[in-house]
Amino acid sequence: GQNIDQPTEMTATEGAIVQINCTYQTSGFNGLFWYQQHAGEAPTFLSYNVLDGLEEKGRFSSFLSRSKGYSYLLLKELQMKDSASYLCAVRVQTTSGTYKYIFGTGTRLKVLA
Amino acid sequence: GAVVSQHPSWVICKSGTSVKIECRSLDFQATTMFWYRQFPKQSLMLMATSNEGSKATYEQGVEKDKFLINHASLTLSTLTVTSAHPEDSSFYICSAKTRLAGGSGANVLTFGAGSRLTVL
């Protein structure tokens, strides 16, 4: 089956750096995505990796190691508004050749003043 | 950027009734849309992949007769929860593949705002 794991909750201080890990065991891997979701709202796209390495995008960076089935999202210079859930999602190719997106368990990040 | 519109945002219904949720791509065509369900403080669970002009592909454990999906046009997919019961109360959210602007042009998911269903 498809399995994507993240820590359930994390707490960090404003201005700090936090790393949210994601491990996955999937078949037909075709890319890994990070989304941010504030309570009661729709998820919004943050970052995307399809090859190994680091992708940097402002205060957010995401890393992927396909051989280890591992990714992380790095948030720098944390702000109070970064308090949200962070969802790791894997795009997989199905046996019929189509694609679907499977989401991990999600990590609730609380940023403290 | 691409916008996915989902209605209604909130719906309360009596047990045994059916509820229809609409998902529209406003400024692009979506041959494929995805329907997710989210329980409180949990992540998104993929229910089905909606394909324009053909039958939806349901995930294992999702009752297709209970959750009817119709994707009759390139801009509209609907999810109907039939004979709703309190255990169907949840946050339902649709999404469509859109292409990132700029260098990578990768396909990402753009989500609707979600529909919170409460079945009494």
CA distances (Å), origin B119, targets A41, B9, B17, B37, B105: 20, 14, 9, 15, 41
Cα B11 from Cα B116, distance rounded (Å): 6
pLDDT(B104) > 70: no
Q: Write the pLDDT tens digit of every residue in A50-62.
A: 999 999 989 999 9
Q: Which residues of B touch A30 (CB under 8 A)?
A: none
Q: A103–B44: do the CB atoms touch at under 8 Å? A: yes
A89 interfacial to chain B (CB closer than 8 Å): yes
Q: Which residues of B touch A106 (CB under 8 A)?
A: 42-44
Whether the bond into B86 is cis, omega within 30 of 0:
no
Q: Write the pLDDT tens digit of every residue in B17-48.
A: 999 999 999 988 898 999 999 988 888 999 99
Q: Token pair of A97, please?
A: 């050749």
Q: Residue type for A6, please?
A: Q
Nearest to A48 among B41, B57, B106 (CB): B106
pLDDT(B82) > 90: yes
Q: What is the pLDDT of residue B1?
A: 74
Provide the Cα torsion B79, B84, B89, B90; round to 10°.
Answer: -10
Q: What is the pLDDT of residue B64?
A: 93
Q: For chains A and B, what is the number of CB pairs under 8 angstroms? A: 57
Q: Look up tokens 């894997």; give the residue.
A: A90
pLDDT(B99) > 90: no
Q: Phi first, then psi: give them for residue B87, nearest 5 degrees.
A: -70, -10
Longest Cα–Cα distance in chain B:
49
pLDDT(B113) > 90: yes
Ordered DSSP codes for A34-70: EEEE-TTS--EEEEEESSSEEEEETTEEEEEETTTTE
Ordered DSSP codes for B8-67: -SEEEE-TT--EEEEEEESSS--SEEEEEEE-TTS-EEEEEEEETTS--EEPTT--TTTE
Nearest to A42 among B34, B107, B112 (CB): B112
Q: A32-36, B8-12, B42-46, B114-118 — which is least confidently predicted?
A: B42-46
pLDDT(B106) > 90: no
Q: A101–B109: do the CB atoms touch at under 8 Å? A: yes
Q: What is the pLDDT of residue B85?
A: 96
Q: Which of residues 24-63 of A touch B (CB under 8 A)?
A: 31, 33, 35, 41-45, 48, 50
Give the mean model confidence (pLDDT) for residues A57-76: 96
More confident residue, A65 or B103: A65
